[in-house]
Amino acid sequence: MAGGTFDRSATVLVDMDEVLAYYLEALDDALVLNDPEYPLVPYGHRDRYNQLGGPGFNLDSLAAGMNTPGLFRHLRPVEGAVDALHEMANEGLNILIVTTPTFENRTCAQDKFEWVDEHLGREWVQRTIIAYDKTAVSGAVLIDDKPEITGSMAPSWQHLLFTRPYNAYVEGVPRMGSWENWRQCVLPLLDAGRV
């Protein structure tokens, strides 16, 4: 998968949920299926990360929706994500998918591996890391939608925030609004990190 136009050995870490695949729309469907009265917050109106229900939402219903077997298996790919990852790898970047599992969802990890196999190819399963602590994974750049990523270590990577409505309030950070402009967003960060 390596060997392309750019001579770059840096590792780019890529989050899965809401960066490669639309998790929240599948979760919303599961929530309403489990509890038709569940107070959803429309996607475009979510103004903070983890805003998973409106006023008075039921925690048990939220847990049941998040733990739906197969929830992560059939997520819709984010526009341009699959092609962009192949382009990045073909141009010599070392791409790893780093995703956090939902602990109580017993099929989550397997679902994620099967999603990667179907949409990116079997060889990408070996490039997929399931990690609760992304700070423990080495790389030059992490593309992630979560506004703040904390863990047990000082991260080796620079966070490139993948823009979503719920992180719009974050200022002064590198952002990527869509996969079609990955070169303009990722490559300068890799160049800046070189000694």
Torsion of CA 185, 112, 50, 157, to 10 degrees: -40
47-79 burial code (b ≥16 CB/10 A, e <16): eebeebbeeebbeebbebbbbbeebbbebebbe
Looking at the annotation, which residues are catalytic?
Answer: 15, 17
Are 142 and 16 a contacting pair, CB within 8 Å? Answer: no
Cα(38)–Cα(53) distance, rounded to whole angstroms?
A: 8
Cα(159)–Cα(143) distance, rounded to whole angstroms?
A: 6
Region for residue 3 given its phi and psi (left: phi exceeds 0; alpha: psi -120 to 50; beta: otherwise): left
Structure tokens belonging to residue 17 = 């949920």
Closest to 157 (Cα-Cα) out of 132, 186, 178: 186
81-107 burial code (b ≥16 CB/10 A, e <16): bbebbebbbebbbbbbbbbbbbeebeb
